[in-house]
A and B are shown apart, each in its own frame.
Chain A
Amino acid sequence: MIKVQEQDFDIGAELASLTDGNTSVGGLGCFVGLVRDMANEEQISSMTLEHYPGMTEKQLAALEAEARDRWTLLDVLIIHRYGRLEPGDRIVLVGTTSAHREAALESCHFLIDWLKTKAPFWKLEESDTGESWVAARDSDDDAADRWSDTATQSEQKKV
Chain B
Amino acid sequence: MQLLYFGWVRTKIGSGRETLDPPAEITDVRSLVEWLKQRGDGYQEALQDLETIRVAVNQEMVDLDALVSPSDEIALFPPMTGG
Q: Which of B77, B78, B81 touches A116 (beta carbons < 8 Å)?
A: B81
Q: Does A28 contact B (CB under 8 A)?
A: no
The answer to whether A118 and B7 have CB atoms under 8 Å apart is: no
Closest approach, in angstroms, between the C-beta of A61 and any C-beta of chain B? 11
**Contact across chains for A120 and B80 when beta carbons are under 8 A apart:** yes
Quick one: closest A residue to B80, CB to CB?
A120
Give A117 to B80 CA distance when docked, in angstroms: 5
Which residues of B are found within 8 Å of A119, using beta-carbon distances? Answer: 80, 82-83
B4 neighbours in A (Cβ, 8 Å): 52
Q: Is B32 an interface residue (CB 8 A)?
A: no
Output the residue of B4, B78, B82 with the most chain A CB within 10 A.
B82
Number of A residues contacting the other chain (C-beta, 8 Å)?
26
Does B79 touch A at the CB level, under 8 Å?
A: yes
CB atoms of B78 and A122 under 8 A apart: yes
A117 and B59 contact, Cβ closer than 8 Å, known pairs A50-B7, A52-B4: no
For B10, the chain A residues whose CB sits under 8 A away are 50
Across the interface, do B79 and A120 meet the contact criterion of CB distance under 8 Å?
Answer: no
Per-residue B-contact encoding for A120-146, CB less than 8 Å = 1, 0 else: 111110000000011110001000000
B8 touching A120, Cβ below 8 Å: no
- Nearest Cβ on chain A to B81's Cβ, whole angstroms: 5
CB under 8 Å from chain B, chain A span 92-117: 92, 112, 115-117
Within 8 A of A (CB), among B1-15: 4, 6-8, 10-11
Q: A52 with B82: in contact, given A120-B6, A120-B77, A133-B7 (CB under 8 Å)?
A: no
A70 interfacial contact with B, CB 8 Å: no
Instruction: Report A-chain residues with C-beta under 8 Å of the C-beta of B75.
Output: 52, 55, 120
Binding site for B on A (CB under 8 A): 33, 50-52, 54-55, 58, 80, 91-92, 112, 115-124, 133-136, 140
